[in-house]
A and B are shown apart, each in its own frame.
Chain A
Amino acid sequence: MIEMKGVNKSYRVRRREAGLGNAVKSLFSREYTEIPALRDMTFVIPSGQIVGYIGPNGAGKSTTIKILSGILRPDSGECRVCGLVPWEDRKRHVARLGVVFGQRSQLWWDVPVSDSMELLRDIYRVPQAKYRENLDRLTELLDLGDLLKTPARMLSLGQRMRCEIAAALLHSPEVLFLDEPTIGLDAVSKLKVREFILEQNRLCGTTVILTTHDMQDVDALCSRVLLIGKGRLLLDGSTAEIRAMAGENLSTEESVADLYRRFGI
């Protein structure tokens, strides 16, 4: 179970006008602006749900994920994931958490993928038998095969992403955060990744929070959608409800775009 109650977070950003004069001026006095990233964010996600967390760029999606991962501490508000406050009990919390940041890699670049996997096994203290079992299952479902023996730098993006997802699940996490897991993937890889996420959720009851700009991901995976903009939760419902709100016969993609416009975000 994931709970957020009244969470606020703002960043201090340095700003100045363009130009040399202003650049020199900023050497002596700097102006900071408080940018609110999350405002009174409140939601509850029960175990075993796949939730799409969507919103335009800069809406506060990554901030939420970072708070839930224990990387960031909010300015105020409460937050619990499986009973733990992420930033207070960071190590215990992250041991039950799997994370995939689609735009970054957790695999070591120059060594075969299986070496990275063994490192993760030791970091998460996965018993050897459990590790074998998980790796065998992931290898089969994600079609990893010989990829494990290949250095990460030699993999195509689609192959690498499958390995990244496997790497995030080696320690059987209860909660999985996927931050744009299908970004840049071709159609076949996308389908494979989606199919796998559903399978993982069905078999292991893994709770999944998915942030994405790809509405087909949302259509295929998410029973529930949280729509946020400018740091606020704007809508909480199913994809069908979102389409119904937009009216007419629009696809989820068009409905979401329509809602972005309507909310002015």
Chain B
Amino acid sequence: MKKYLSFFKMRLMAGLQYRTAALAGLSTQFIWGGMEVLIYRVLWNAHPERFPMGIEALSSYIWLQQAFLTLFAMWNWERDIIESVKTGAVAYELTRPADLYGMWMARSMALRLSRWLLRAAPVIVLGCLIPAPYGLRLRVSPAVFALFLLSSALMLTVVCAYSLFVYALTFHLTDPNGVMVLSTAAADLLGGGIVPLPFLPAGLRRIAELSPFGAMQNVPLRIFGGDIAGVEIAEAMGLQVLWSAVLISVGYALMRAGIRRVSLAGG
């Protein structure tokens, strides 16, 4: 276990170096979050009765989404891993007395956490400073907060397991770019990135909620905002566990099959 923790630590240290990137990302997130809140405010003022979520829950959703963006954003790929498979440099990692899946899982999680650590606090503080109902409402019960934390951890697992599934596919494809672009788009639409899932038409919304993408940001953000409760939380978190298990097993199997093929890349 220690070696995977070291991998985690390494990626974390490497990730914490990029101060300028963090600063640039932060300002984008402030502006983006503010813009979204303004747009929804206009819609809300026009037809509050047609909103599927309360404006408070929605504002919290948006600010938390910005604060947690780097944790779940599908586009946060570990480029080095993809490059290493394409060029064959992965051979080095296969000469280590460690499991490749474990090493990559530790790296993926650390990459996301390192980016998140640098950016979360300022967005949360700013979100709280904005007056109700457009700001981030932090008053939640300890039980809800605990569920939020747990489902955030599950979200990270699902997101990383999905990334590893794509990395494992890279062994079998000439270029994984297509899969990556499609995954990013699907995660944005079906995961509640473009609009929160309650805003989708009923049929599509059900598909989204059952898909692996619905087991990502959708769950903790809606738990926190109070948009889902009770049985709905249980169902959503159950799906998170299920998708983690499915994605990890499929990714692991694909990787095992893929390692047998590394042979050709770069003689």
Contacts and interface: CB of A to CB of B under 8 A. Distances in A.
A11 B96 CA distance: 24
B14 A110 contact: yes
B75 to A, nearest CB: 20
Given A66-B91, A99-B92, A123-B98, A108 B3 contact: no
B2 A122 contact: yes
Chain B at the A interface: mostly helix, strand, loop or mixed? helix
A66 B263 contact: yes
Contacts of A115: 10, 13
A91 B259 CA distance: 15
Contacts of B249: none
B97 A105 contact: no
Contact of B267 (A62, A69, A70, A105): A62
Given A71-B91, A72-B263, A101-B91, A110 B17 contact: yes
Contacts of A70: 94-95
Interface string A106-133: 1011110001101100111100000000
Contacts of A106: 92
A58 interface: yes
B89 A104 contact: yes
A212 interface: no
A91 B97 contact: yes
A123 B95 contact: no
Contacts of B264: 11, 13
Given A108-B10, A111-B14, A119-B6, A63 B263 contact: yes
Nearest to A91: B97
A193 interface: no
A111 B13 CA distance: 8
B13 A71 contact: no
A264 to B, nearest CB: 21
A30 interface: no
Given A104-B91, A111-B13, A123 B263 contact: no
A99 B3 contact: no
Contacts of A72: 260, 262-263
B7 interface: yes
Interface string B12-31: 01100100000000000000
10 contacts: A90-B97, A92-B97, A94-B97, A95-B97, A99-B92, A104-B91, A110-B14, A116-B10, A122-B6, A124-B96
Q: Shortest 3 CB-CB distances between A and B: which pairs? A: A122-B6, A95-B97, A91-B97
Given A11-B264, A72-B263, A122-B2, 4 more contacts: A73-B260, A105-B89, A110-B17, A111-B10
